[in-house]
Amino acid sequence: MRGSIRLFVSVPLAPGEAPLLDSAQAHYLGAVMRRRTGDEVVLFNGSDGEFLARIDAVSARGGRLAVGRQLRPQSAEPGPWLAFALIKRAAAEFLVQKATELGAERLLPFRADRSVGVLPNPMRLAAIATEAAEQSERMTRPEIAPPAALADLLAAWPADRPLFAAIERRAAPLLRPCGRQAGLLVGPEGGFTDRELDLLARSPFVRAVSLGPRILRAETAAIAGLALLAAPSGEAAV
């Protein structure tokens, strides 16, 4: 159903189910998109697949849908993991939206020595990721981990998943496509400290990479790096 409105719902989906719309979804459908009773929407919940549904009722306060046939079965969406240093709120929100569109499977914020951002509101980040998953026709939403210290993030990192650390002003190789089972690590606006660079150098799964000769904002670096990592997956071919 190309071009249809897609909504994420957090209830089981199957033909005959009648999920309720919360007030935000009802406002979006009714007031913003001007959809009425009987109009079709597409639903997914990240576990049962994607379904066609009809609007049974919609008002300013809420609404109800009637689930019809399945459009796509659920599929796994393995993708790159993105570890990013806490940055200012607007930049972090932009990063979460774009990383979701680019297929990131897990988002792992970490506290860097030079982080200036406040802890992001997890509900708001989840809502941004949900909207981006709806818009980009994903079948899943990325998992967003709570912020961790860099040392803890590295200690928990699976040893068989390469982690490409974007480090500017280094004679590091340019980041190249690597398939989906990899991670990208991007530092804060002030860059990594020597202590953090030592920590990264001592982690056997970390590989320092460059994103080119220009110094990118942290969120730009994350987007550019994810685009490079995801390039060979064939996701762009339709």
Binding site for ligand SAM (CB under 6 A): 166-169, 186-187, 189-192, 210-212, 214-218, 221
Cβ count near 2 (within 10 Å): 5
At closest approach, how far in Å is the CB of 89 from ligand SAM? 16
What is the CA 39 to chain-centroid distance, rounded? Answer: 29
Q: Which is nearer to ligand SAM, 71 or 216 (CB)?
A: 216
Q: Which is nearer to ligand SAM, 186 or 230 (CB)?
A: 186
Point out the residue whose Cβ comes nearest to ligand SAM.
187
Q: Which is nearer to ligand SAM, 5 or 200 (CB)?
A: 200
At closest approach, how far in Å is the CB of 12 from ligand SAM? 41
At closest approach, how far in Å is the CB of 188 from ligand SAM? 6
**Can you list the alpha helix ranges (DSSP code H) found in 102-235?**
122-135, 150-156, 194-201, 218-230
Helix (H) or strand (E) holding 95: helix 89-101
Spell out the residues 6+ positions from residue 7 whose beta carbon is closer than 8 angstroms to its own.
21, 25, 29, 41, 42, 43, 44, 134
Q: Which is nearer to ligand SAM, 39 or 189 (CB)?
A: 189
At closest approach, how far in Å is the CB of 163 from ligand SAM? 12
Rounded Cα gap, residues 141 and 128, in angstroms = 10
Could you tell me the two tokens for 34? 């001007």
Q: Which is nearer to ligand SAM, 158 or 190 (CB)?
A: 190
At closest approach, how far in Å is the CB of 207 from ligand SAM? 12
Rounded Cα gap, residues 138 and 18, in angstroms = 22
